[in-house]
A and B are shown apart, each in its own frame.
Chain A
Amino acid sequence: MSIYDQLLQFLIAGISIGSIYAVMGLGFMIVYSVTRVINFAQGEFAMLGGMLSTVFYAKGLPLSFSILCAVLITTAFGMFLHRVVIYPIRTAPVFTLVLATFGVSIAIRGISLIIWGTDFRILPPFSKLGAIHLAGAMINIQAVWVIGTTLLMAIVLFLFFEYTVPGKAFRASSINALGASLMGIKTERMGAIAFGLAAGLGALAGAVVTPMMTTSSEIGLGLAIKGFISAIIGGLNRIEGIIVGGLTLGILEAFGAGLVHSGFKDVIPLLIFLVVLNFRRGGLLGDPEAGKI
């Protein structure tokens, strides 16, 4: 297979990996933009999304409906978390909040282990044909679903922020909480919405990737770390930034694995990232005034 085909294959692989990271990153961004918290439970939302949909599907519900239920439940759960864990200590040092979310992620993992154990679960692919070949490269249809979902979510979020009243209020309170509250926007509710949104996104992502990579109680933290990194690369403040951040991470990994050595797959993007950060302090697309913990 020609080097051109290989490169194309790496690119496709990178995009399909990166789009997963990107959705996770979006989750981080939404929560951060309102609460200034890096929510390490984001990965667990994805885990819950995947696990719950497999549970409902096993109960005999149609696939789409199972995923819908999973997303809704996780969304509600996210809001609940905000009310119970984050809101009561919103005034504490941000780092305390971050660690609280870390505690949350551990707890969720524990619960999931208790209920579902350590088994892996899977959903059937969304469409029958497994993989298609184009221009000498292979692409898995499920990966197309993942990429599609990511883009869709990004667009929906964008429209939500730009053109809806709650979305605008949301942005207002993310820019200036005090000002927003003076404008009569309930920043508490905004925080809840943020966590709900993030949880929902995460859950949907988790469900969509399950047919591709299976799911289990343990996948949360891994996804969270990647999402965190791509969110930071993307600058934590703009949707398109996060998308690019995630894709960059994924593509770098794929090319690193393909061209350098798969043993250093996870390291190569980070090294590049470290170098880049010295020129652009705000991440690749972020503003230089990137948030402080």
Chain B
Amino acid sequence: MGNIKRTRYASLALFVIIVIMIPFVVKSPYLITIGIFIGLYALISLGLSLLMGYAGQVSMGQSAFYGIGAYVSAILTMKCGVNPWLAMIFAALFSALMAGLLGMVVLRLEGHLLAVATLALCIVFYTIFAQWKSMTGGVDGMPGIPKLSIGGLMLTRDVHYYYLIWAFLTVILVFSFNVVDSRVGRALRSIHHFQGGSEMAAKSLGISPMKYKIQVFMLSAAYAGIAGSLYVHWLSLVTPSSFGFLTSIYPLIIVTLGGQGSLWGAIIGAAVFFIVAEGFRAFIPILKPGTSGEYEILAWGLMIILVMQFLPRGLVSIPDILRGKKTKG
């Protein structure tokens, strides 16, 4: 127990140091922007990882909450002149609230039904974003969303948002760790029906599965909402095209890539996901000049297949595999 904690604190410290160091080593705003996207998707994926890896609930609808967060922030700041930070809080709360209400409907479903129900949420909200012109600005969305500012300092440069987003990520990571190894975390794991949990036993011990499914769904939505809010204040633009089907699939890939049931997995997965994608963008034109995209897409597909084949339990399982230890799951 003790040394588990110790290794965690050690890795957290290491993580924070790396995060702080990167901008000193990496100057290019392009790479910093990659860092920003990694951070944003890591936030969404953390929530999904709690939902999938711990409570065993699949969601193909995280983009909906990412979008809700983004639009709440955008609308409050643009139309009501609310302070961006306040807007961000509202964004998180409102995403969670929506998740709570919708969760009461969809979380009564399981497996594929849950998957398709959440996929439905993704499509429904995309349509709302694109169609509700008067509120969301339609397909062109809303440009010119105010930037965030701390004290007097206006956060304009990418590196500011890099630090901001990763600071949020760190806090939320710690929060998530605390949840995971608390009574709540155990309650979640106890209802993870296809990974060693048992809803029957959980109920017999006084745990109401529905309650915890909804709670963790709300939490994941709140994470996504915060990510969405950060995203629009950084880009100072919101368009529906950022919240389509793929935006729901990426976190699924990231979580599985990193490894379900590991919070670090979400972050590692996000990092690898974007670095590899951009790596392809950089390398493939060199290997095969004159190409545009299609080879990237192919490489990307193959890459997913290979990871699923050789690391079915994700990147976090690499150490175990190296140690030749059998991975459980």
Please list the residues of chain A having a beta carbon within 8 angstroms of any beta carbon in chain B: 38, 85, 88-89, 92-93, 95-97, 99-100, 102-111, 113-114, 221, 225, 228-229, 232, 236, 263-264, 266-267, 270-271, 273-274, 277-278, 281-283, 290-293
Contacts and interface: CB of A to CB of B under 8 A. Distances in A.
A90 to B, nearest CB: 10
B115 A293 contact: yes
Interface in B82-141: 105-106, 108-117, 119-120, 123-124, 127, 131
Given A103-B308, A106-B300, A110-B300, A277 B113 contact: yes
B3 interface: no
Interface range on chain B: under 10, 10 to 19, 20 to 34, or 35 or more? 35 or more
Contact of A109 (B253, B297, B304, B308): B297
B301 A95 contact: no
Interface of B: 52, 58, 105-106, 108-117, 119-120, 123-124, 127, 131, 193-195, 245, 249, 252-253, 256, 260, 293-305, 308-309, 312-313, 329
Contact of B123 (A92, A109, A266, A290): A266
B297 A292 contact: no
Contacts, number: 139
10 contacts: A106-B297, A106-B304, A110-B299, A113-B294, A113-B297, A267-B127, A270-B124, A273-B117, A281-B108, A292-B193
A270 B123 CA distance: 9
B120 A273 contact: yes
A108 B112 CA distance: 24
B298 A292 contact: no
B109 A93 contact: no
A266 B244 CA distance: 14
Nearest to A230: B116
B293 A102 contact: no
B103 to A, nearest CB: 12
Contact of A277 (B109, B123, B193, B245): B109
Given A38-B112, A232-B113, A292-B112, A100 B301 contact: no
Contacts of A228: 116, 119
A290 B112 CA distance: 8
B210 to A, nearest CB: 13
Contacts of B256: 95-96, 99
B113 A290 contact: yes
Contacts of B58: 95, 293
Given A110-B299, A292-B194, A102 B249 contact: yes
Contacts of A292: 110-112, 193-194
B252 A99 contact: yes
Nearest to B194: A292
Contacts of B106: 274
A225 B245 contact: yes
